[in-house]
Structure 1
Amino acid sequence: MASPYEVLGVDPDADEAEIDRAYRRRVIETHPDQGGSVSEFRVVKSAYEEIQAGTEPALDEPDGDANGTVGDENGTAERDEDAGATATETSERGSGASASAEPRSRADEPGSRADWRRRSRAGDTETEADPQVGTTVSYLDYEAVVDRGWSLDDDPFETAATAELDDETFGRFYAEPKETLLEAAEERGYAWPFACRGGACANCAVMVVEGEMATPNDHILSDDLVDRGFQLSCIASPVTEELKVLFNVKRIPELEELLLPADRFDRRHQD
């Protein structure tokens, strides 16, 4: 069976940026709308999730030989000058130190995207929504902001409140606890952009203006985009009592290379 790295076509020591680029490439190649299949798409998605959630592959232990490590009569391995310390020595060294032979997890790296996702899952937010109450979502179509020349430096929601906008463009709705933002919008009759529904593209991206959302598997967005407030509505769930989002932001230049064909959304939006 192919390893997750083989599925994505990268080396096991590839950095996060290389893995992200390979994932985006493989998603496009295997997406059903691009001539791939659902099964292929799921294999790619699962491979990426396994790498991101997980553990780096451990190196195979070398067999003892003239150039490696050998054990003495007490079963304690000696270190070869070129081989480095063995796991036995590491565990015995420094009585007060805690040495672990477990593979390093990406989520253990402070400030990494995996660490951000882990904290989101843990509910590390400023004003969490009552799990029995849910979230009031205020939404505004980004296209309306662009068409009217409004500035994002000002409060576009305050400006929109004095404009004559229809309910599809500007308004509020209630999101049930644990609903993703896209699910909540669709349940209330709104047709927001989407394509894959699995966090593998940016078609459903929104910009969070106020409040927070938790994202279990943020597959496609760069650290810079996340820092600027962009999240994927298909996998992100509101976790604060109030949330303000700009939706339909897929035409922002930095997101265009992350888009997939959205025939199903286009057909639905036209109906």
Structure 2
Amino acid sequence: MESPFDVLSVAPDADEEEIKEAYRERIKEAHPDHGGSAREFQLVRAAYEEIKNGDAAVDGEADGGDGGITGEAADGEAREPEREEPRRTQRCRVEYLNYEVLDDHGWDIDDEDLFEEAANGGLDREDYGQFWVRPRESLLEAAERHGFAWPFACRGGACANCAIIILEGEMRTRVDHVLPPEMLDKGFQLSCNGMPVSDELQVLYNVKHMPELEELLLPPRPWEQAHDD
């Protein structure tokens, strides 16, 4: 899979000016008015943000930081020990779409070209876009690192407030005490503990208002507070 550096056609050790210049060239090439596409435009912008924020370590190197929740939760809640599993050494690129905008545009989850329509739909960055997930980082952690306030409540796999639907790609969940097998078969996963195991993902987030999840939710205070900050 292409890294952010590959997307911008720039070396990992390029200086700030080289990266800016590469971004200017690639964003012009990717613009739909210049023969590119909305999805490519989003990808180039996400790559630049990843590099600019210092988050784009070379694939195969240790990322450091706070990727992966172990031990005590951020809210002080005890967490089950993590099972020893092979670690990913590369990032995963995530293309995301806010479930709540589907009705507004007359879109359906089963639309084959759903993400193409979303890319061309003029949506805000909060509703549609792309970002990278580090090795050993959960999907929710990555979204927050990129400045998004995705819904959650317990962060411990005990509620469905953080649920997403995976339309393409694979993810494993470290702790899940709430989603029944039939929902997992439909692509539902928990973003708080879910870690990508494929190079790319397409996900619908903010699906907590779907009828199937109604009985699996906790009061969404953290979600509301995140938007009030």
Partner SS state of residue 257, structure 1: helix
Pick the structure with greater CA Rg.
1
Deviation of 1:133 (Å): 2.0
- Verify: 1:173 aligned to 2:134, yes or no: no
Deviation at 1:204, TM superposition (A): 0.2
Distance of 1:134 and 1:168 partners within structure 2: 21
Aligned to 1:158, which of 101, 116, 126?
116
**Match 1:227 to one of 180, 185, 188:** 185
> What is the match of residue 102 of structure 2?
145
Partner of 1:206: 164
Q: What's the C-alpha RMSD, in Å, of the aligned pairs?
A: 2.3
- Unaligned 5+ segments in structure 1 are 1-37, 54-117, 124-129
* Alpha-carbon shift at residue 147 of structure 1 (Å): 2.3
Give runs of aligned pairs for residues 104-123 of structure 1, distance below 5 A.
none
Is contact 2:97–2:128 with CA below 8 Å preserved after alignment?
Answer: yes
CA distance in 1, matches of 2:228, 2:102: 22
Residues 51-72 of structure 1 show CA distances to partners (whole Å, capped at 9, x for unaligned) of xx9xxxxxxxxxxxxxxxxxxx
Q: CA deviation at 1:270?
A: 2.5
CA contact 1:145–1:156 (8 Å) conserved in 2: no
Q: CA deviation at 1:122?
A: 5.2
- 2:214 aligns with 256
Q: State the distance in 1 between where 2:105 and 2:220 align.
A: 26
Q: Deviations over 1:155-174 (max 9, x none)?
A: 32111011110100000001
Q: Return the letter of the residue paired with 1:136.
A: R
Structure-1 residue corresponding to 2:92:
135
Kindly indicate whether the alpha-carbon contact (under 8 Å) linking 1:180 and 1:237 is maintained by their aligned counterparts in 2. yes
Render the CA deviation track for 1:157-210: whole Å, top value 9, x for unaligned: 111011110100000001100100000000110110000010110000000010
Runs of 4+ with >6 A deviation: none
- Are positions 1:182 and 2:140 aligned together? yes
Aligned AA for 2:181? D
Between the aligned residues of both structures, percent identity stands at 52
- 3-state SS of paired residue (1:166): coil
C-alpha separation in 2, matches of 1:182 and 1:136: 14
Distance 1:200 1:234 in 2: 10
Equivalent positions of 1:22-33 (< 5 A) are none
Maintained 8 Å contact 2:151/2:222 = no
How far is 1:149 from its partner? Answer: 2.0
Q: How many residue pairs were aligned?
A: 154
2:174 counterpart of 1:216: yes
